[in-house]
């Protein structure tokens, strides 16, 4: 019996132990289990203001947060170079003629007022002469004009304002030259481009004129290569590069302090290879009194001529420099055979008469005029428009 009781006791103890084990295994884990966190939603950069992407199903029920669709990583921005389409050159001078206001008020209006006086005595003629000289017309052209005006005024007797204007217009046009050929030689020779060499003393506006001319040629439908033959300063080539980049003209440059003639040669070679219409070579400013630098310029031209014809040698003259400009012009003309003058900064001067004196001095026409610092402020020179602007309409 006792044996039975022992066995039953053992069975009960084992059963109790088994039940306890089951309890431990099956009891809920409650607080000790880590909470199941909803997936974290981070704000997408740049979309911090976007409403949260949560969908609430029921006030009592748990909040279910639906993550937003995956955002593609931003692609790197590629900014295409902005290439401008410049306007054509036609009609530029008419658009810019208001820029001649200073020459108009001094030269144009001054002469009209003097010539409109009832009595033209010697003092008045002296004043007329002085006005012309002050406007840089030059001594010989001034004397020629005064003589002609005196004769014509005598013939006319009393003068109406229209007659005075016509008289003056005719005289100014005669001195400037209406029939002069001012064509810029930029027509390519078959497969070979035209070449324009830009020269002048420091700061006259060579690089600016090169850039403006490239724009206007491109505006007229030409393909252009620029040669940065100013190797004295790296900034000079950068300045030209900026002009080229704006209109999509390739710029050929060389090492700083390199040989300008070889850069000019390379630019022309590139122009030939790319079959462009015009190659414009910008050179460093140089004082006409520095023989070594003037010789270097002669070499630049000769080296280009091994590859192509130099169609234009443009002398860039600053209209505000007066008689000093005349001396520069003479020396440059001796060294490189100047074929045309680009007269810059006419917008800032009352000395518009320099057009007359410089042409007379060099026997070379003014082909381009700079009438401001803006990219399209360069115009083919038109004597009629110029004189009309001086005399007012």
Ligand X SMILES: Nc1nc2c(ncn2[C@@H]2O[C@H](COP(=O)(O)OP(=O)(O)OP(=O)(O)O)[C@@H](O)[C@H]2O)c(=O)[nH]1
256 is a contact residue toward ligand X (CB under 6 A): no
Q: Which of residues 105-134 bind ligand X (CB under 6 A)?
A: none
Binding window for ligand X (CB under 6 A); candidates: 157-165, 195-203, 292-300, 380-388: 195-203
Beta bridge pairs of residue 279: 195, 225
Edge to edge, the sheet with strand 250-253 lists 250-253, 224-229, 278-283, 194-199, 312-318, 340-344, 366-370, 378-380
Contacting residue, 204, 231, 321, 357, with ligand X by CB under 6 A: 204
| Strand, helix or coil for residue 142 | helix
Nearest to 259 by CA among 213, 227, 288: 227
Q: How many whole angstroms separate alpha carbon 230 and alpha carbon 80? A: 29
CB of 276 to Mg ion, least distance (A): 22
CB of 240 to ligand X, least distance (A): 9
207 is a contact residue toward Mg ion (CB under 5 A): yes
Q: Which of residues 365-384 bind ligand X (CB under 6 A)?
A: 370-373, 377
Of residues 332 and 386, the one with the C-beta less far from Mg ion: 332
231 is a contact residue toward Mg ion (CB under 5 A): no
Nearest to 286 by CA among 231, 235, 351: 231
Asked if residue 284 belongs to a known ligand binding site, the reply is: yes
- Each residue 211-250 as x (binds ligand X by CB under 6 A) or -, in order, gives -------------------x-----x--------------
DSSP-assigned states of every residue in 186-215: ---BTTBPEEEEEE-STTSSHHHHHHHHHH
Q: How many whole angstroms separate alpha carbon 113 and alpha carbon 348? A: 23
**Residue 280 φ/ψ, nearest 5 degrees:** -115, 125
Binding window for Mg ion (CB under 5 A); candidates: 85-93, 199-207, 250-258, 291-299: 199-207
CB 314 within 8 Å of CB 210: no
Number of shown-chain residues binding Mg ion (CB under 5 A):
2
Q: How many whole angstroms separate alpha carbon 354 and alpha carbon 365? A: 12
CB of 284 to ligand X, least distance (A): 6
194 is a contact residue toward ligand X (CB under 6 A): no
Contacting residue, 347, 376, 382, 388, with ligand X by CB under 6 A: 347
Q: How many whole angstroms separate alpha carbon 310 and alpha carbon 340? A: 12
Q: How many whole angstroms separate alpha carbon 156 and alpha carbon 171? A: 15
Asked if residue 230 belongs to a known ligand binding site, the reply is: no
Contact residues: ligand X, CB under 6 A: 200, 202-208, 230, 236, 284-285, 344-345, 347-348, 370-373, 377
Contact residues: Mg ion, CB under 5 A: 206-207
């Amino acid at each position: 019996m006792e044996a039975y009781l022992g066995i039953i006791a053992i069975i009960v103890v084992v059963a109790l132990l088994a039940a306890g084990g089951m309890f431990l295994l099956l009891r809920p884990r409650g607080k000790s289990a880590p909470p199941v966190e909803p997936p974290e939603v981070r704000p997408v950069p740049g979309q911090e203001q976007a409403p949260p992407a949560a969908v609430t199903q029921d006030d009592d029920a748990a909040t279910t947060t639906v993550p937003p669709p995956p955002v593609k990583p931003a692609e790197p921005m590629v900014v295409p170079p902005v290439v401008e389409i410049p306007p054509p050159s036609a009609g530029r001078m008419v658009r810019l003629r208001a820029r001649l206001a200073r020459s108009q008020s001094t030269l144009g209006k001054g002469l009209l007022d003097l010539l409109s006086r009832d009595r033209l005595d010697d003092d008045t003629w002296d004043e007329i002469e002085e006005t012309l000289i002050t406007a840089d017309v030059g001594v010989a052209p001034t004397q020629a004009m005064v003589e002609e005006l005196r004769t014509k005024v005598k013939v006319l007797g009393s003068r109406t304002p229209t007659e005075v204007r016509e008289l003056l217009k005719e005289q100014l046009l005669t001195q400037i030259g209406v029939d002069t050929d001012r064509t810029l030689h930029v027509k390519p020779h078959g497969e070979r481009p035209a070449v324009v060499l830009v020269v002048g003393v420091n700061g006259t506006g060579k690089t600016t004129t090169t850039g403006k001319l490239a724009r206007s040629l491109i505006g007229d439908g030409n393909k252009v290569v620029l040669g940065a033959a100013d190797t004295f300063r790296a900034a000079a080539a950068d300045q030209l590069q900026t002009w080229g980049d704006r209109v999509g003209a390739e710029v050929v440059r060389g090492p700083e302090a390199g040989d300008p003639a070889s850069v000019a040669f390379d630019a022309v070679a590139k122009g030939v290879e790319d079959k462009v219409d015009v190659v414009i070579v910008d050179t460093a400013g140089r004082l006409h009194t520095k023989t070594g630098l003037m010789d270097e310029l002669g070499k630049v031209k000769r080296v280009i001529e091994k590859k192509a014809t130099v169609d234009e040698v443009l002398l860039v003259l600053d209209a505000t420099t007066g008689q000093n400009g005349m001396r520069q012009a003479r020396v440059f003309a001796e060294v490189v055979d100047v074929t045309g003058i680009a007269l810059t900064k006419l917008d800032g001067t009352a000395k518009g008469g320099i057009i007359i004196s410089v042409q007379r001095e060099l026997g070379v026409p003014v082909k381009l005029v700079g009438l401001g610092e803006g990219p399209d402020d360069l115009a083919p020179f038109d004597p009629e428009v110029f004189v009309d602007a001086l005399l007012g309409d």
